[in-house]
Amino acid sequence: MKTLADLTFDNCFARLGDAFSTEVLPEPIDEPRLVVASPAAMALLDLDPDEAEQPVFAEIFAGHKLWESAEPRAMVYSGHQFGSYNPRLGDGRGLLLGEVVNDAGEHWDLHLKGAGQTPYSRMGDGRAVLRSSIREFLASEALHALGIPSSRALCVVGSSTPVWREKKESAAMVLRMAPSHVRFGHFEYFYYTKQEEQLKTLGEHVLKSHFPQCLEQPEPYLAMFREVLERNAEMIAYWQAYGFCHGVMNTDNMSILGITFDYGPFAFLDDFDARFICNHSDDAGRYSFSNQVPIAHWNLSALAQALTPFISVDALRDTLNLFLPLYQAHYLALMRKRLGLYDEHEHDEKLIERLLQLMQTSAVDYTRFFRELGDSAAADALKRLREDFVDLAGFDEWVTDYLARCGDLDPAERRARMHAVNPKYILRNYLAQQAIEAAEKGDYSEVRLLHAVLSKPFEDQPGMERFAERPPEWGKHLEISCSS
């Protein structure tokens, strides 16, 4: 176990030079206080969990102190926002502090979000507010615990520094971790500014650091693009299977590693609704729940465009055509498991679609349905769940077909297998909201408790049942501010 002082840095991205990032020191926030830390994320750096309690921990992650071997830099990128190209996007408020190498030899980017202005801040103040920092922290760690690929979060540090959004709020910083912070928008930036040499340098860096196996292939860039596409197909399948709505799938928010990245007005579905829009600025529903699949495909084609100097258009097109079938295969595999089906059947897709349609018309709670389905033997569980549906004839027909598909697994075995993939606890917006409201008054106990509960989403946790309840009516219609 290490202390903060023991961390070893190897800042590969910083070494790419000034065309890729600019040296900027964090601008400290006042009277730093630790809001919450993730012991699981600390373990990735081999850090002793007690380190979070040391005053120096909050001081470092509030920008007051820095390791000598850190090299804080603001990365430059662009990207497509709501379908339109924006030539200069960021990073307007995040600094890559450096890359820590852990005992296993893994590189973890330490990225401080809300660290003050950078040359890319445009009109922004470079800050992040407490509420959005808590949301990013909780979501990163909760998605990871669900098995959904995501960036991680080490901690949130709050402060007394005022920040103006719709009203006066307080500044906070979240320390994000990922093996890489390279986004689709990094490639787009060098492509659209016609910096071909730098585009190549970036590609080689990403290949060497993150896709070394592709270097063995006859066409490394094509192999890398295929891998990025496969990872994204899998990530989106997880989102759709677990009811996660990202909200701002701009290409600058898409990670080259295929991990969920840059959390804003995200939401998990409460009642199932394929048309759900969690981002209140998204009037046209571009990033609605069901649109996430075609939008991911669209984003990959934007990345493909930026790779045209290295890969033939035909090869890119052929690879892009693999997205939907790959997504569909991952999605079906996840949904079969969620339903407790352990073999494949040609009509499974239809069976799942019919269920979702029934859930949609009856506004059935998406997470609770699957959890309860695994609680007891299928027929018994469905007898209880029937009460939640309006179209009873349709539901009964579906039940007949579903039961015909279920094998004769021992009920205890079925329960264990289904509960291992169907969470009891998810990050519902209203739970985050309640924890944020307490934190804004200086009480961090609810954020910490919620984080602890969500770190074991599949386990029954006696005494924590209130976190698994259906949301109250007000909790389903929260307008999460997009300003952050």
∠ CA 340-342-345, nearest 5°, is 105
Question: Token pair of 336, please?
Answer: 């079969």
Contact 428, 417 (CB under 8 A): no
Q: Is 292 helix (H, G, I), strand (E, B) or coil?
A: helix
Q: Which is nearer to ligand AMP, 88 or 405 (CB)?
A: 88
Q: Which of 253, 255, 279, 291 binds Mg ion (CB under 5 A)?
A: 253
Binding of ligand AMP by 198 (CB under 6 A): no
Nearest in space to 228 (alpha carbons), one of 193, 286, 183:
183
Q: Does 372 bind ligand AMP (CB under 6 A)?
A: no
Q: Is 113 annotated as a binding residue?
A: yes
Task: Assess whether the previous peptide bond of 270 is cis (omega < 30° from 0).
Answer: no
> Is 252 or 270 the residue whose CB approaches ligand AMP more closely?
252
- Which partner in ligand AMP, Mg ion, none is near 93 (CB below 5 to 8 A by kind)? ligand AMP
User: Among the candidate windows 89-97, 201-209, 210-218, 229-237, which touches ligand AMP by CB under 6 A?
Assistant: 89-97
Q: How many residues does the chain have?
A: 484
Is residue 126 involved in binding ligand AMP (CB under 6 A)?
A: yes
Catalytic residue among 6, 18, 30, 252: 252
Q: Say if residue 73 carries a ligand binding annotation.
A: no
> What's 424's DSSP letter?
S
- Cβ closer to ligand AMP: 186 or 338? 186
Place of tokens 């052929």: 318
What proportions of the chain, in percent to the nearest 5, are helix, strand and coil? 45, 15, 40
Q: 176 a known binding residue?
A: yes
Is 252 in the active site? yes
Binder of residue 125, out of ligand AMP, Mg ion, none (CB less than 5 to 8 A by kind) = ligand AMP
> Of 158, 119, 116, 108, whose CA–CA distance to 137 is shortest?
158
Task: Please report whether residue 262 would count as binding Mg ion according to CB under 5 A.
Answer: yes
Please report, to the nearest 10 degrees, the dihedral formed by the alpha carbons of residues 106, 148, 371, 428 taken in order.
Answer: 110
The sign of the torsion formed by the CA atoms of 54, 59, 62, 66 equals: negative
121 binds ligand AMP (CB under 6 A): yes
Binding pattern for the stretch 262-301 against ligand AMP, x by CB under 6 A and - elsewhere: x-x-------------------------------------
Residue list, annotated binding site for Mg(2+): 253, 262
> Contact residues for ligand AMP (CB under 6 A)?
89-94, 121, 124-127, 248, 252-253, 262, 264, 484
> Contact residues for Mg ion (CB under 5 A)?
253, 262
Catalytic residues, which ones? 252
